Amino acid sequence: MRTKAAMIRFALLFAGVLVLLNLVGSLYHFRIDLTGDRRYTLSHATREILKGLPEAVTITGYFTQELPPDLAVARDEFRDLLLEYAQRSGGNVVYEMIDPATADTLERQALESGIRPLLVNTREKDKAEQIKAFMGAVVRMGDQQAVIPVVQPGSPMEWELSSRIKEVSVAEKPVVGIMQGHGEPSVNAMAQAVQGLSVLYSVEPMTIYDTLPIHGRFRTIAIVDPADTISPMALQRLEEFMGRGGGVVVAFSNAAGDLQRTPLVEPRHTGIEDWLARHGLRADDGLVTDAQCGQVQVMQQRGFFNLQTAMAFPYFPLVTRFGEHPVSAELEAVVLQFARSFTPLDDSTYRRTPLLTTSDRTGTVPLPHAIDLQKQWSDADFTQAPRHLAYAVEGPFGNGPGARLVVIGSGNFAVGAEGGQLNPDNINLLVNAVDWASDQTGLIDLRGKGVNYRPLEELSDATRSTLKWTNLLLPILLVVGGGLLRLQWRRRQRKARTAPGHVA
């Protein structure tokens, strides 16, 4: 047994070690990242951005001090991230945390900077109330300024910070053209995508003319959801642009439908199909359906009332299988609408990498097709092999040394309805595609650094039944087993006590 003096020496030694660890921790900030996606480890892209800063960056965080626990965690994570940025930058990142509630001038300063206040429900002393909370930041370098209006819990904070630092530190941004003139949605209808692109690019609407070459100021051209046919001469101009090293992103569908007016989905021909076939990629006929799908809101009658009900809609595939490629590697879930698939042709001239793949329960329907919202879907509707809904293509377009093309089999996945928010990975898919086509892949791996989509793993009926009975019976068996072991132990104790010569 330890003596009293030994125990005192051990306690003093333990306390000394704790004090030493706290001193080292205060001098050298470090943390161990045990997350699967390395969410709390600065990426190579961020370190390169910090290394290449032309001058100091000032980051002002506007955070309310008294926040509910779930929001306070986000504030603390953001502060820790700022500390790591400051240490990694060698003094080129300077930050401060301000509570706007401490002074009216600070609150006015936050509002004028573009920080958006939140109404937060709190409970204190059995009293529920709403408070105005600030959770945003402003990044400044010289005369340039970028704003993070709201830092959401679980959001990719490193992407938010690094992209804003990149935004204020880039002197001249390359230009991305959004093609117009063939029934495409306007740039305003793609506000979320344009906001994501504006971090690294200047975004402009543009038109391809049959008689004029595409202007050299464009780095990449995005063709999103054309409704009308694109002329062969315009496609030739596009190929000449790629021959000069320009990148192209094409997102188009072979189906046109307006479910608010008619259940009929009709075929759409844009002229892009033949152009793709000449470059080793066949656009398949038919409309892809998938048992793993998004939902639509349907009005249904319940007694005397009409209620909106969420209904699985196999015409909107929910993609969770992604290719090993910079465009798709960091994505988690993308919802496409009225999608088509693609098949690579026997042509070794081009390198083609599938980006999005449907689930194992996939089907197709011919066009035109009448949608029946009352249809009861079964396994017999999803008997086909998985389909590839997007490809990255590299090759000698337009007799050039090589160019990059991204093809996505749905047009309006990145087009937002008025007042609605799109699935974050839908926007990330389009922005990643432009980044890769423009040969600027530095920030791609940061966009997915957050908790957006964590579905439960689907289990078979047999596995679920096994787990259910195991959860029910295992605790009982453990209790019974423990009781039997204790019974045997007590019997041995009694037997030992009754043995001759036993001393208590």
Domain-located, residue 488? no
Look at residue 311 and tell me if it is in a domain: yes
Counted domains in the chain: 2
**Token output for 469:** 């009975």
Among 141, 208, 221, residue whose Cα is nearest residue 403:
221
443 lies in some domain: yes
DSSP symbol at 211: S
- Is 254:312 a contact under the CB 8 Å cutoff? no
For tokens 């011919």, the residue is: 366
358 in any annotated domain: yes
Q: Are residues 251 and 317 in the same domain?
A: yes
Is residue 460 a part of any domain in this protein?
Answer: no
Q: Are residues 23 and 55 in the same domain?
A: yes
CATH of the domain at 307: 3.40.50
Does the structure show a pLDDT above 90 at 273? Answer: yes
**At residue 464, does pLDDT exceed 90?**
no
Three-state DSSP string of 67-119 = CCHHHHHHHHHHHHHHHHHHHHCCCCEEEEEECHHHCHHHHHHHHHHCCCCEE
Q: Show Cβ contacts of residue 439 under 8 Å, excluding neighbours closer than 6 positions.
A: 247, 404
Distance CA 92, CA 50 (A): 8
**Per-residue pLDDT tens digits for 128-157:** 777 788 999 999 998 889 999 998 887 788
- 326, 441 in Cβ contact below 8 A? yes
274 Cβ contact list (under 8 Å, min separation 6): none
Which of these ranges, 201-215, 216-230, 257-271, has the smallest mean pLDDT? Answer: 257-271
For residue 208, pLDDT beyond 80: yes
Q: Are residues 283 and 162 in the same domain?
A: no
* 214 lies in the same domain as 342: yes
Q: Provide the token pair at 54.
A: 């032309």
Q: Which of residues 117, 137, 166 is at a domain's end?
A: 166
Residues 371 and 232 in one domain: yes
271 & 147 share domain: no
Asked, for residue 32, whether it belongs to a domain, the answer is yes
Same domain, 268 and 363: yes
- Is residue 358 within 8 Å of 386, Cβ to Cβ? yes
- Assess whether pLDDT exceeds 70 at residue 446: no
Which pLDDT does position 137 carry in this prediction?
93
Report the pLDDT averaged over residues 215-232. Answer: 94
Average pLDDT of the segment spanning 50-74: 88
Same domain for 99 and 68: yes
> Are 223 and 351 contained in the same domain?
yes
d(CA 79, CA 84): 9
Distance CA 221, CA 234 (A): 13
Token pair of 161 as six digits: 């910070």
pLDDT (0 to 100) of residue 215: 92
**Helices and strands in the chain: count of H runs, count of E runs:** 11, 24
**Rounded mean pLDDT, 202-218:** 92
Task: Judge contact between 136 and 116, C-beta under 8 A.
Answer: yes
**Please, are residues 294 and 313 in contact by the beta-carbon 8 Å criterion?**
yes
The alpha carbon of residue 387 and the mean position of all alpha carbons in its chain are separated, in whole angstroms, by 22
End-to-end alpha carbon distance in the chain = 20
- Tell me: do 98 and 34 sit in the same domain: yes
CA geometry: angle at 336 spanning 225 and 440, to 5°? Answer: 70
Higher pLDDT, 311 or 302: 311
Looking at the structure, do residues 295 and 329 belong to the same domain, yes or no? yes
Query: Is the pLDDT confidence value at 454 over 70?
Result: no
Bridge-based pairing state of the strands 264-267 and 369-370:
antiparallel
Domain that holds residue 85: 19-166
CB 397 within 8 A of CB 139: no
% of residues, the chain, pLDDT over 90: 40
Domain boundary among 136, 166, 196: 166
The predicted pLDDT at position 1 comes to: 46
Give the predicted TM-score (pTM) of the model.
0.75
Residue 50 contacts residue 92 (beta carbons within 8 Å) = yes
Whether 462 is covered by a domain: the verdict is no
The model's confidence at residue 417, banded by pLDDT at 50, 70 and 90, is low
> Do both 275 and 130 map to the same domain?
no
Burial of 443 (0-12, 13-18, 19+ CB in 10 A): buried
Q: How far apart are CA 80 and CA 129, in angstroms?
A: 29
Reply yes or no on whether the pLDDT at 93 is more than 50. Answer: yes
Q: Minimum mean pLDDT among 182-191, 302-311, 313-322: which range? A: 302-311
Lowest model confidence (mean pLDDT) among 308-317, 367-376, 386-395, 414-423? 414-423
Is residue 320 within 8 A of residue 292, CB to CB? The reply is yes
Which DSSP string corresponds to 139-199? EEETTEEEEE----TTS-HHHHHHHHHHHHH-SSPPEEEEE-SSSPPPGGGGHHHHHHHTT
* Domain edge (last residue) among 447, 469, 491: 447
DSSP character at residue 414: T
Q: In this structure, what CATH number is given to the domain that contains residue 45?
A: 3.40.30.10
Evaluate whether residue 102 is within a structural domain: yes
Measured CA to CA, the distance from residue 32 to residue 494 in angstroms comes to: 52
CB 250 within 8 A of CB 272: yes
Q: Which secondary structure element, helix H or strand E, spans residue 343, and what is its range? A: strand 342-344
What percentage of the chain reaches a pLDDT higher than 70? 88
Mean pLDDT of 399-411: 91
